[in-house]
């Protein structure tokens, strides 16, 4: 789905971070849905009004990855 342009700068920045962490964009619209095999799925707002939304979402990605690694070990 990389041919579609995301709605704002924050969404594009989050997209870069999520892709670096191995997540891929599954669906987009009012919400962006990312997925990574063995880790799970995360849904984030495409244009959040909270100034800390991106940091919180990145923390959620990291937490999901850590938890999946702990279960696998």
Domain boundaries, the chain: 9-72
To 5 degrees, how large is the angle CA 5–CA 54–CA 61?
95
Instruction: Note the pLDDT tens digit of each residue in 7-61.
Output: 788 888 999 999 999 999 999 888 999 999 999 999 999 888 888 999 999 999 9
Residue of 4 and 49 predicted with greater confidence: 49
Note the pLDDT of residue 1. Answer: 45
Q: Identify whether the C-beta of residue 64 lies closer than 8 Å to the C-beta of residue 40.
A: yes
Return the higher-pLDDT residue of 4 and 63.
63
Q: Which CATH architecture has domain 9-72?
A: 2-Layer Sandwich (3.30)
Per the model's pLDDT, the better-predicted residue between 71 and 13 turns out to be: 13
DSSP conformational letter for 5: P
CB atoms within 10 A of CB 65: 17
């Amino acid at each position: 789905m990389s041919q579609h342009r995301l709605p704002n700068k924050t969404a594009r920045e989050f997209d870069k971070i999520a892709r670096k962490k191995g997540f891929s964009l599954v669906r987009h619209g009012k919400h962006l849905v990312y997925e990574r095999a063995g880790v799970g799925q995360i849904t984030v707002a495409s244009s959040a009004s909270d100034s800390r939304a991106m940091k919180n979402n990145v923390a959620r990605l990291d937490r999901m990855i850590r938890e999946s690694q702990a279960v696998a070990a």
